[in-house]
Amino acid sequence: MIASFLARSTRSTTRVASTLSSPTSLLRFKSTGCYTKAKRIGFVGLGNMGLPMATNLFNGFKNEADFIIYDINQTTTSNFVKDHSAGNKDKVKVAKTPLEVAQEASVIVTMLPASPHVESVYFGKDGLLEALGPDHLVMDASTIDQSMATRVAKVLHGKGAKAIDAPVSGGTGGAQAGTLTFMVGSNTVADFELAKRYLDKMGKNIVHCGTNGNGQVAKICNNMLLGISMIATSETMNLGVRMGMDPKLLAGILNTSSGRCWSSEVYNPCPGVQENSAATRGYTGGFGMPLMAKDMRLAVNAAVETKSTVLLGALAQQLYNQMAANKDFEQLDFSAAYKWLSENAK
């Protein structure tokens, strides 16, 4: 399978054509008209994250594959076609349904907001599932709960398709720069390796986190720890400043001591401590409150389901929810927890 898949889509057509040593895949291509299909990559979900990811994927593969895209926002899809299809009408197709994507493309990436969207795109009427089969490699980059991710994988495996979960970190900046981290859950190393070829065009670190669903576990765990750490760093910086310390000096000390964390070192929430932080540019851009609130919710739900206790996690979830529900904060980066703390006591 792996051999045939590599033959099919990668180095690629050439090898298939020139090496008759892969009769099975040759047969398959013959019988299903797979040759055309192998040359088309599908992308479902061109939102803030999905659009730059799809663009990088397109740029990485445009010489060897055509594309088919689907999004409910037709302005987005027609703009994508306009930007990337010039002079070749067939280069990028716009599908009318997810099903059409699965009918045309053998390699598919989905990037959707939450579990209900994944449910609908995969299992709904005119969903991907109806056309998925042994020729497909499907990569879901959405951040969803583990149980949904394992269910997707199980159902797709049941159809013979290859399926991995591959949630990302790195935000819209990383999506644009192609430097995302992908946390991949895949039952087999082979599927992981197969997927990596595509993910490499959109990200810098492609990490195999274990079996299907574990990509979500890694993402959820990382973001819960990040979410707590950011509030903890905010409380600490605010406390230190109110006790009379210079924030840069305090950050410097924390960062060479046992209090240091990514939030204090790389993304300090106190304005002015770091030149390029979200905090210093008014908490614009970055990772928005609603996104962190959503990830914290996934974490707390997972904790309840696995009988894990997350006292700090549950409290942090509430705080992000509160900020995400406040019109002055919902548009801001999650590091505005510092702003929240320092302004509430005014």
Q: Which residues in 117-176 contact a copy of itself (CB under 8 A)?
A: 146, 169
Distance in Å, CB of 204 to a copy of itself, minimum: 11
Matching residue, tokens 């495996």: 157
Catalytic residue among 37, 93, 196, 219: 219
Among 6, 34, 153, 217, binds a copy of itself (CB under 8 A): 217
- Please list every residue from 258 through 277 that binds a copy of itself, using CB under 8 A: 258-264, 266-267
3-state secondary structure of 170: coil
What are the backbone dihedrals phi and psi of residue 52, each rounded to the nearest 5 degrees, phi first? Answer: -65, -30
From 176, 141, 181, 196, select the one nearest 51 (Cα to Cα): 176
Distance in Å, CB of 288 to a copy of itself, minimum: 15
To the query of whether residue 62 is one of the catalytic residues in this protein, the response is no
Q: Is 18 in the site for a copy of itself (CB under 8 A)?
A: no
Spatial distance between the Cα atoms of 294 and 167, rounded to a whole number of angstroms: 14
Q: Is 242 in the site for a copy of itself (CB under 8 A)?
A: yes
Q: Is 229 in the site for a copy of itself (CB under 8 A)?
A: yes
Distance in Å, CB of 309 to a copy of itself, minimum: 4
Q: Is 325 in the site for a copy of itself (CB under 8 A)?
A: yes
- Residue nearer to a copy of itself on the CB measure, 284 or 326: 326
Total of chain residues touching a copy of itself, rule CB under 8 A: 82
Spatial distance between the Cα atoms of 130 and 122, rounded to a whole number of angstroms: 8
Fill in the amino acid letter for 314.
A
* Rounded alpha-carbon distances, angstroms, from residue 56 to 34, 64, 95, 191, 202: 25, 14, 19, 21, 6
Among 94, 107, 228, 332, binds a copy of itself (CB under 8 A): 228
Task: Provide the token pair at 23.
Answer: 């009769």
Q: Is 9 in the site for a copy of itself (CB under 8 A)?
A: no
For the CA atoms of 120, 125, 126, 127, the dihedral, rounded to the nearest 10 degrees, stands at 30
Q: Is 199 in the site for a copy of itself (CB under 8 A)?
A: no
- Active site positions, annotated: 219
